[in-house]
Every structure is written in C-alpha cells, then in structure tokens.
Amino acid sequence: MFTGVYNESASSYAMLQTGGAVMTVLVLMFVAHSHTSPKVSGIASYLLIVAGGLLTAWISIPFIYSMGFMLVVGFEKMFNVFIRSSRQKLIPKEDFGKTVGFIVMLNNLTQPLAGGGRLLR
C-alpha cells in the first residue's frame, strides 16, 4: 500500500516500520507504568486502533496514513495486554492451558490462508 498506492520509496517504508516499532515500545512502556484500569485500557486501545484504521483507509496523504499505521501497530499491543489479562481472569486455572492453546491453534490456522494466493498459482 505505502510503496504502491502512495508511490513512496523503500526507505520511506523502512522508516514507517521503524516508527511503528518505536510506537509499540512507547505504548508498552506506558502500559507497564500506567495505573489505568484494564477496562479503560481496553476501550482506549480499541478506539485508537479504530481511529488508526480509519486514518489509513480514508485519508490519501502519506503522512496521515503513517500516523494511522502507527496507531494501529502501537495500540494493538495494548489491546493484546488487555485481552490476555482478561483471559486470565475469565478462564479457570485448570482449563487455561487447554483453552489458550486452542485459541492459538485457531489463530495459527488462518496464517496459511493469508498467503494462500501464492500457493494456488
């Protein structure tokens, strides 16, 4: 998308990926030192992911796309922390390993489908 539709260079794409990584580290540092409730953290991260998705989808300016991309990439990790901590509270300890293992298996089953176009050629 970034190099194709926006006709940006490979080095610009590398900077975009680096910005996403920096954003992830900053968000995770905030999560580690924050005293916000898990519910507020989950809602905020979800809304920021949606905002980032809307920016990447609707705005055709590469800089704004980059900001949306960094919101999605960074706050997805915050949402991940929320989901994982929620699972620990909701799933009984004796079933936790089996349940999370099943969730991971279902998640990993979709990965070959994501790149399946190359397999079918």
Return the domain boundaries, the chain.
10-91
- What is the enclosing helix (H) or strand (E) of 7? none
103-108 long-range Cβ contacts below 8 angstroms, 24+ apart = none
> What pLDDT, on the 0 to 100 scale, is given for residue 59?
83
**pLDDT at res. 43:** 96
DSSP secondary structure, 30-44, as one string: HHHH----HHHHHHH
Per run of 10 residues, the mean pLDDT along the chain (length 121 residues) is: 70 90 96 92 96 91 91 95 92 92 87 60 51
Residue 118: predicted pLDDT: 56
User: Which pair of structure tokens corresponds to residue 24?
Assistant: 């992830």
Q: Which two structure tokens, joined as six digits, stand for 84?
A: 């994982």
Q: Output helix, strand, coil percentages for the chain, rounded to the nearest 5.
A: 85, 0, 15
